[in-house]
Amino acid sequence: MRDTRDSSRDQGRRRFLATAGAIGAAGIAGCSGLLGDDSSDNEPSEPSDSPVGQIGSGREGRDAPDGVSMSEMPALEGELTVYSGRGEFLVGDLVNYIDDLYDDFDLTMRYGGSTDLVNQIINEGDGSPSDVFYSVNSGALGAIADEGRAAALDEDILDMVRSEFHTDEWIGTSGRARAVPYNTDEYSAEDIPDDIMVYPDEFDGDLGWAPSYGSCQAFVTAMRLIEGEEATREWLQGVLDAGITEYPNEFAACEGIADGEIDAAFTNHYYIQRVIDGNPNASIATAFTSGDAGAVFNVAGAAVVDTATDATLANNFVRHLLSAEAQDYFARSTFEYPLVPDVDPIGDLPSIDELDVPDIDLTQLSDLETTVDLMRDVGVL
């Protein structure tokens, strides 16, 4: 059921954005096996002859990206330890590529959950071996900064992305939009509400989500900040009463849509693309809500830990995550939004400017504890 407040312009926008998930194999197919497979052991490809090489799998017809190439950045020399809340199956090819570029660079990656790594850095204190913290979301980056454990980044690094995607202490390296994937065998784009708050009452299909997932909790945090705690409590109770299905992660929720288990879900946009990458004919497409918590645009990003042995090396590693090669990798291989303006997202995803995101300070999403307490109180967790 459509919100009666929608204008014809909104409906046209809806039809356009819905194509992001419905495009066939030409724009999406061809991804390497590293997506959705923790056991992936793909090696990075050799640099191409072009000024900007591709890392990992290519995308047929995609030109070499704009932006600043790694070859134009300061060489990496010395030892560096990165605590990564981003999984190895997602970023392993990228960091291996960077490591292999430099003979005098010794990179140690320690993978774990972003929240767990925040706590580890805090507990390790001045003795932390971590030089860079690479997080899956801005909330964890904000938590490190709030604890005074993030050093100021070099000004020229901050200038590489828009102001809303960084603070003085951390910077976004790739982005993800909240989305509403839906089953195209059961619903058309016009059937999908673009107001997140009406779903408990106005969507007549079966919903799914992954409430224990950090991205979902950040989404609920945004709702709490925008709508208030009481309205969020009512929304949570409403989706529970509607019989929402819980999944272990948001990729599984999108697979549930494609398999006909549920009709729609609340996820990050790229999980839909990954389902389609595995099955271009999957019955799933992407819808977006407008200006509310369901449309939050969050970022993965990096911070230099205040105890970094070599702050210059740490800053230069972060700089490499914003290189043309790395930004193109995020677009092609993880289906995220590049944050450097000169690199486009893959396929027919709308640009960041075409998304109707809410006006919210991403640093506020670090207050997950209050959200988790609320979700537990309602019985979600």
pLDDT in tens, the chain (381 residues): 333 333 333 333 332 233 333 322 223 222 322 222 222 222 222 333 333 445 554 444 555 667 899 999 999 999 999 999 999 989 999 999 999 999 999 999 999 988 899 999 999 999 999 999 999 888 889 989 999 999 999 999 999 999 999 999 999 999 999 999 999 999 999 999 999 999 999 999 999 999 998 889 989 999 999 999 999 999 999 999 999 999 999 999 999 999 999 999 999 999 998 999 889 999 999 999 999 999 999 999 999 999 999 999 999 999 999 999 999 999 988 999 999 987 888 767 888 999 999 998 887 887 888 999 999 999 999
Q: Does pTM surpass 0.85?
A: no
Contact 373/212 with Cβ under 8 angstroms?
no
**Given this model, what pLDDT does residue 62 score?**
53
* Tokens (6 digits) for 89: 């199956």
206: amino acid identity, one letter: D
What are residue 78's DSSP bridge partners? 105
CA atoms within 13 A on the CB side of 39: 0
Tally of CB atoms within 10 A around 337: 27
**Given this model, what pLDDT does residue 361 score?**
85
State the sign of the Cα–Cα–Cα–Cα dihedral 112, 113, 114, 115: negative
Contact 122/147 with Cβ under 8 angstroms?
yes
Where would I find the beta strands (DSSP E) of 278-349? 284-287, 297-305, 337-338
Contact 272/254 with Cβ under 8 angstroms?
yes
Tally of CB atoms within 10 A around 371: 24
**Given this model, what pLDDT does residue 214 score?**
82
**Given this model, what pLDDT does residue 100 score?**
95
Give residues with Cβ within 8 angstroms of 312, minimum separation 6.
none
**Given this model, what pLDDT does residue 115 score?**
84
DSSP code string of 86-146: S-HHHHHHHHHHHHHH-TTEEEEEEE--HHHHHHHHHHHGGG---SEEEESSHHHHHHHHH
**Given this model, what pLDDT does residue 369 score?**
86
Contact 282/291 with Cβ under 8 angstroms?
no
**Given this model, what pLDDT does residue 103 score?**
96
**Given this model, what pLDDT does residue 286 score?**
94
Q: Give the containing element (helix H, strand E) for 221.
A: helix 214-227
**Given this model, what pLDDT does residue 55 score?**
54
**Given this model, what pLDDT does residue 4 score?**
33
Distance separating alpha carbons of residues 254 and 258, to the nearest angstrom: 6
Distance separating alpha carbons of residues 167 and 303, to the nearest angstrom: 10
Contact 213/85 with Cβ under 8 angstroms?
no
Contact 89/34 with Cβ under 8 angstroms?
yes
